[in-house]
């Protein structure tokens, strides 16, 4: 009885803490950041209002869910099936679609989403333009030509956002009128739609921002190609998002039952992680579909939340996760590094053996990558601390994730078919090779410029260089003959050595000629360069006085003797 209480009480407290963190991050971090850094008060208000309306019911439902699950566990204390079924709030909502608690949460969500949609439509393009400006400020791509051409992006992106909100509202209301959506209610399709959404989001993020070390197929694509593909992916991305949200809403409020299989409820860590994902996945999916494309394009939060739940809803979740992970490594290896936490969440009861085998795989891959860097890319000893940090992220986290994939996804019970294991092993090997090549590409860029040089490059060093050239050109622009004439002194070429006075000899006008006047006009350094015999770096118009200087010096030579 104590173990059952431990499994039930601890996950609920963790889930409530996670929900409070989500709300606190939105209110106490995003709100001041939008106001202080960008001065967008209306965006901050809409953001916090939508977050409170959409995530607030999740907190209330989870608080009430603790007592409901505890009562169900007391009725069946020795039933692991009942414990697994009700350890997930989504499973409870699917099993009890007409419960007062579920209806109350559904009403709150519906009112909040409809009010949010009406606010967007009432404010019109002005608010959407401000939101789009926020997105462009936060995620401005840096390219050699100064960024992607965003001239045609705002109109198209605004129309896509409006279309997304309208489609999402329709899909939200369709289950309430019992429209024919039974084809979308299959549990396996939910997970496949979520996985497809995450994959498209990763590809869009990689292609739009031109990460040449991540996008294999478009490594040499131009800016226009990336922009066009990213806009096409936006349409597909928002459509998949609406379908995923609609499927989740229909299964949440419909009469279908979905039980969670393969959940290690006896382990508090896995039960807590799965319960947190199950409690957040539906509500956060609803919130993201309404505001994620308008405020932020960060895909990693959704990966943490939606991926474990999507894999649990698929009968062959390990196989689909393996395929998805290999595709992500091949197309967007930097994003694949962030899948370590979902993999750990999805590991089965044989996690101890899996982690030991993963450690062995990681050591072997690190040695292989180190040899690759040493013999093909140069010595690792030349890297700075900042470059070493990037190298460790690229060369250690990704192989660690691959090790977890190899051990926990392919050889955990029940085992996959032999053909699937062979095919996935080949694909994983290819992904490891490409990960090494991508890490080498990143190391090359880091070796060419350390952290300080990267900061200078970001500050656009071409402008101060041009200013320096202009200053130097302005300093040597006045001709020495003109300056001497303005001061009332004759130039060295016009003086007659025979009629020159001793005062003129003392000033050195006759001795040095135009060189002395040139030194006074071009302090410092020009005269020293001419005396040492070095070639002057001044522009061509300034070469005439320096050419006259030796003649006048030669003329003054006989006079001194």
pLDDT tens across 296-353, in order?
334 444 444 445 445 554 555 555 555 555 555 555 544 554 444 444 444 433 344 4
Structure tokens at 523: 């302090």
Q: Is residue 237 predicted with pLDDT exceeding 60?
A: no
The predicted pLDDT at position 182 comes to 39
Count Cβ atoms below 10 Å from residue 467 Cβ, excluding itself: 10
According to the model, what pLDDT value does residue 174 have?
A: 40
Q: What is the pLDDT of residues 463-518, one digit of tens each?
A: 444 444 444 444 444 444 544 444 454 544 444 555 555 545 455 444 444 444 44
C-beta of residue 87 within 8 angstroms of C-beta of residue 265 = yes
Q: Provide the percentage of residues in the chain whose pLDDT is more than 70.
A: 0
List b or e across 147-173, with b for residues whose CB sees 16 or more CB atoms inside 10 angstroms: ebeeeebeeebbebbbebbebbbebbe
Q: CA 9 to CA 385: how far, in whole Å? A: 44
Percent of the chain with pLDDT over 90: 0
pLDDT at 556 over 50: no
Place of tokens 């994983």: 428
Which pair of tokens denotes residue 209? 């921002």
- How far apart, in whole angstroms, are the C-alpha atoms of residue 311 and residue 346? 8
82 and 4 Cβ atoms separated by less than 8 Å: no
CA gap 366, 372 in Å, rounded: 10
Mean pLDDT of 58-83: 45
Q: What are phi and psi of 405, to 5 degrees?
A: -65, -45
The mean per-residue pLDDT over the stretch 521-546 comes to: 47
In this structure, the number of other CB atoms found within 10 A of the CB of residue 532 comes to 7
SS3 state at 19: helix
Query: Does 392 or 9 have the greater pLDDT score?
Result: 392
**Most confident segment among 47-61, 110-124, 150-164, 442-456:** 110-124
CB-CB contact of 386 with 337 (8 Å):
no
What letter would DSSP give residue 68? H
- Any idea how long the chain is? 561
Tokens representing residue 341 in the block: 């936490």
Please give the pLDDT value at position 81.
Answer: 40
End-to-end alpha carbon distance in the chain: 118
Reported as a pLDDT band with limits 50, 70 and 90, residue 97 is: very low
Q: Report the pLDDT averaged over residues 261-281.
A: 36
Give the DSSP per-residue string, 359-377: HHHHHHHHHHHHHHIIIII
**89: exposed, middle or buried (C-beta count within 10 Å: 0-12, 13-18, 19+)?**
buried
Q: Which long-range CB contacts under 8 A does 6-10 form with residues at least 24 apart? A: 6/268, 7/83, 7/87, 7/265, 7/266, 7/268, 7/271, 8/66, 8/69, 8/70, 8/73, 8/83, 8/87, 9/66, 9/70, 10/268, 10/271, 10/272
Phi-psi region of 206 (alpha: psi -120 to 50; beta: other; left: phi over 0): alpha
What is the average pLDDT across 187-197? Answer: 50
pLDDT computed for residue 296 by the predictor? 37
Question: Chain centroid to CA 453: how far?
Answer: 22
Scanning 209-254, the segments in alpha helix (DSSP H) are: 223-253
Tokens of 2: 């104590």
Give 184's pLDDT tier (boundaries 50, 70, 90): very low
Q: What pLDDT score does 227 carry?
A: 54
DSSP letter assigned to residue 217: T
The dihedral built from the CA positions of residue 495, 500, 501 and 505, taken in this order, carries a sign that is: positive
Would you give the distance in Å from CA 289 to the centre of its chain? 19
Q: pLDDT tens across 413-432, in order?
A: 455 566 666 665 665 555 55
The answer to whether 489 touches 495, Cβ cutoff 8 Å, is no
> What is the per-residue pLDDT for 144?
41
Q: What is the pLDDT of residue 432?
A: 54
Say whether the peptide bond before residue 524 is cis (omega within 30 degrees of 0). Answer: yes
Query: Is the CB of residue 102 less than 8 Å from the CB of residue 60?
Result: no
Give the chain's largest Cα–Cα span.
125
Residue 133's pLDDT is 44
Query: Is there a contact between 246 and 64 (Cβ–Cβ < 8 Å)?
Result: no
Q: Can you give the pLDDT at residue 453?
A: 40
Question: In terms of Cα–Cα distance, which of 559, 554, 558 is closest to 514?
Answer: 554
The pLDDT of residue 142 is above 50 = no
Question: What per-residue confidence (pLDDT) applies to 96?
Answer: 47
- Based on the number of CB atoms within 10 Å of its own CB, is 505 exposed (0-12), middle (13-18) or buried (19 or more)? middle
Tell me the two tokens of residue 103: 């209806």
Q: What is the pLDDT of residue 104?
A: 52
Other C-beta atoms closer than 10 Å to the C-beta of 300 total: 16
pLDDT band at residue 368 using 50, 70 and 90 as cut-offs? low
Looking at residue 421, its pLDDT comes to: 62
pLDDT of residue 240: 46
Q: Is 139 helix (H, G, I), strand (E, B) or coil?
A: coil
Q: At what angle do helices 418-448 and 351-372 cross, to 10 degrees?
A: 40
The tokens for 444 are: 């090359």
Residues 306, 298: Cα–Cα separation, whole Å: 14
SS3 content of the chain, % helix, strand, coil (to 5): 80, 0, 20
Q: What pLDDT does 427 receive?
A: 56
| DSSP letters for 424-483 | HHHHHHHHHHHHHHHHHHHHHHHHHS-HHHHHHHHT-THHHHHHHHHHHHHHH-S-HHHH
CA nearest 38: which of 104, 105, 119, 130? 130
pLDDT at 170: 44
Asked if residue 414 has a cis previous peptide bond (ω within 30° of 0), the answer is yes
């Amino acid at each position: 009885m104590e173990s059952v209480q431990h499994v039930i009480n601890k996950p609920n407290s963790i889930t409530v803490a996670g929900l409070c963190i989500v709300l606190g991050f939105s209110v106490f971090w995003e709100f001041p950041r939008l106001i202080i850094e960008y001065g967008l008060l209306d965006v901050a208000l809409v953001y916090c209002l939508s977050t409170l309306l959409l995530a607030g019911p999740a907190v209330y439902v989870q608080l009430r869910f603790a007592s409901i699950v505890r009562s169900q566990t007391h009725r069946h204390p020795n039933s692991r099936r009942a414990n697994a079924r009700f350890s997930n709030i989504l499973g409870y909502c699917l099993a009890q679609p007409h419960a007062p608690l579920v209806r109350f949460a559904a009403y709150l969500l519906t009112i909040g989403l409809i009010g949010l949609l009406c606010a967007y439509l009432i404010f019109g393009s002005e608010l959407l333009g401000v939101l789009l400006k926020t997105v462009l400020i936060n995620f401005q791509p840096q390219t050699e030509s100064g960024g992607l051409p965003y001239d045609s992006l705002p109109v198209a992106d605004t129309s896509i956002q409006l279309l997304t909100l309208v489609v999402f509202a329709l899909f939200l209301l369709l289950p309430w009128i019992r429209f024919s959506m039974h084809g979308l209610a299959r549990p396996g399709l939910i997970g496949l739609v979520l996985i497809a959404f995450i994959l498209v989001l990763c590809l869009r993020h990689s292609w739009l921002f031109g990460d040449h070390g991540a996008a294999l197929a478009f490594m040499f694509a131009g800016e226009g190609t990336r922009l066009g593909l990213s806009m096409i992916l936006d349409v597909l991305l928002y459509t998949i998002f609406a379908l995923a949200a609609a499927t989740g809403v229909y299964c949440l409020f419909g009469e279908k039952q979905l039980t969670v299989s393969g959940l290690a409820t006896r382990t508090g860590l896995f039960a807590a992680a799965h319960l947190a994902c199950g409690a957040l996945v539906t509500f956060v999916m609803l919130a993201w579909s309404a505001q994620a494309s308008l405020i932020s394009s960060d895909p990693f939060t959704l990966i943490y939340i939606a991926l474990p739940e999507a894999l649990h809803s698929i009968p062959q979740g390990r196989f689909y996760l393996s395929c998805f992970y290999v595709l992500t490594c091949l197309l967007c290896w930097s994003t694949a590094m962030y899948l370590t936490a979902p993999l750990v969440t999805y590991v089965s009861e044989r996690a101890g053996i899996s982690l030991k085998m993963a450690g062995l795989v990681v050591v072997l891959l690190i040695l292989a990558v180190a040899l690759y860097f040493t013999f093909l890319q140069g010595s690792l000893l030349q890297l700075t601390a900042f470059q070493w940090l990037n190298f460790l992220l690229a060369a250690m986290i990704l192989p660690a994730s691959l090790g977890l994939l190899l051990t926990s996804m392919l050889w955990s019970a029940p085992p996959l078919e032999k053909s699937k294991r062979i095919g996935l092993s080949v694909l994983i090997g290819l992904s490891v090779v490409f990960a090494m090549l991508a890490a080498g590409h990143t190391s090359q860029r880091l070796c060419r410029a350390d952290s300080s040089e990267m900061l200078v490059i970001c500050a656009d060093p071409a402008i101060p260089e041009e200013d320096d050239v202009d200053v130097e050109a302005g300093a040597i622009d006045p001709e020495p003959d003109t300056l001497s004439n303005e001061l009332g002194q004759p130039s060295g070429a016009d003086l007659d050595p025979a009629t020159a006075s001793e005062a003129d000899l003392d000033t050195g006008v006759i001795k040095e000629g135009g060189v002395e006047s040139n030194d006074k006009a071009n302090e410092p350094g020009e005269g020293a360069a001419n005396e040492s015999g070095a070639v002057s770096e001044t522009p061509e118009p300034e070469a005439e006085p320096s050419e006259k200087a030796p003649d006048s010096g030669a003329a003054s030579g006989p006079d001194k003797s």
